Amino acid sequence: MRTTGRFSWFYFSSPQSFYPLAGALQPWFAGLAAILCAVGLYISFLVAPTDAQQGEAYRIIFIHVPAAWMSMFLYLVMGFWSGVGLVLNTRLSSMVATALAPTGALFTFIALWTGALWGKPTWGTWWVWDARLTSELILLFLYIGFMALQAAIDDQRRSDKAGAVLALVGVINIPIIYFSVKWWSTLHQGASVSMTGAPTMAKTMLLGMLIMALGFWMYSIAATLARVRCVILERERQTDWVAAEIGRQS
Amino acid sequence: MNWGSWQNFFAMGGYGLYVWGSYVVTLVALIVEIVALITRRRGVIERLTKYYAARRSNHET
């Protein structure tokens, strides 16, 4: 690591030094994701018992809840890096925010899709316009809006700024999603895992869900690192180091 | 959890459509993203290779 006398964290805030770091870390996160998801699926289907009330339909929980958690968490991370990019004008922060959006949108879609497939056998309907489902759908639109807005503005700085403002305004939706089941009377059940109070689920069910959530988390990091490397190459194409990197790759 | 047979496993106690509909679509979605990322990286490298080649030939002429 370069010693310029500055705090060393800033070293990796330049796209040039972050690019190889992301490349080195990415396969480890991808590998961890694969292992965790394999273990999670094993527990979900071969260890966790049948639910007394919902039968086997409840097994959707092992992807539904982790995907819903990731959809909200990735938005917060995207909002955070958007804010950092907006305030400090650090290019890499905005690139990370841009790279997070498609994966966040993907997990939002998965949460909505699996929710519909779980709702049908348990509630008798694929969809209701209740607070939880509607606010999660708004989250999908926020992700899509962020990507569309960034794609529509050619000037990179303006594109980053506009996207960051949209992302930050949209952060208000996250507590609304999370607390919607408490604030309003909804068809959706309450939180599966609460920070206070005893767990209401069987231990193996909870374990399977947490391991799948960790797997999705690692997957999200791997996908974001892979995408941010593409974004860095595209946006920094005027620099000599990207020209040299492309020369090595092709 | 002992399913007894593959048939029971796929049936998911009558909820097979919903359970497998969730897992298969999730798997497909993740595969689509992974393929899209690989394709994007190849595309970026290809585009930038041409871009630098064009820039070099502009400098020469």
Q: What is the pLDDT of residues A96-113, one digit of tens each?
A: 999 999 999 999 999 999
pLDDT at A187: 81
Q: Is B14–A243 a contact, with Cβ atoms under 8 angstroms apart?
A: no
CB atoms within 10 A of CB A130: 15
Rounded Cα gap, residues B38 and B41, in angstroms: 5
Residue A190's alpha-carbon distances to A126, A131, A180, B7, in angstroms, are 18, 12, 9, 33
> What digits encode the pLDDT tens for the residues A167-223?
999 999 999 999 998 888 778 887 777 656 556 678 899 999 999 999 999 999 999
Measured at the alpha carbon of residue A89, what is the angle toward residues A83 and A94, in degrees to the nearest 5?
55
User: B40 and A230 in contact by Cβ < 8 A?
Assistant: yes
Q: How many CB pairs under 8 A join A and B?
A: 89
Put simply, the answer to whether B18 touches A60 (Cβ < 8 Å) is yes
In chain B, the DSSP E strands lie at: none
pLDDT exceeds cutoff 70 at A7: no
Written as six digits, the tokens of A134 are 């509607």
Q: Is the pLDDT of residue A228 over 60?
A: yes
For A225, name the nearest residue in chain B, comparing CA atoms only: B37
Determine whether the interchain pair A117/B33 forms a contact, defined as Cβ–Cβ distance below 8 Å. no
pLDDT at res. A192: 74
Computed on alpha carbons and rounded to an integer, the radius of gyration of chain B in Å comes to 24
Label residues A170-199 b or e (16+ Cβ within 10 Å = b): bbebbebbbebbeeeebebeeebeeeeeee
User: A116 in contact with B at a CB cutoff of 8 Å?
Assistant: no
**ipTM of the complex model:** 0.92
Quick count: other Cβ atoms within 10 Å of Cβ A122?
17
User: What pLDDT, on the 0 to 100 scale, is given for residue A12?
Assistant: 79
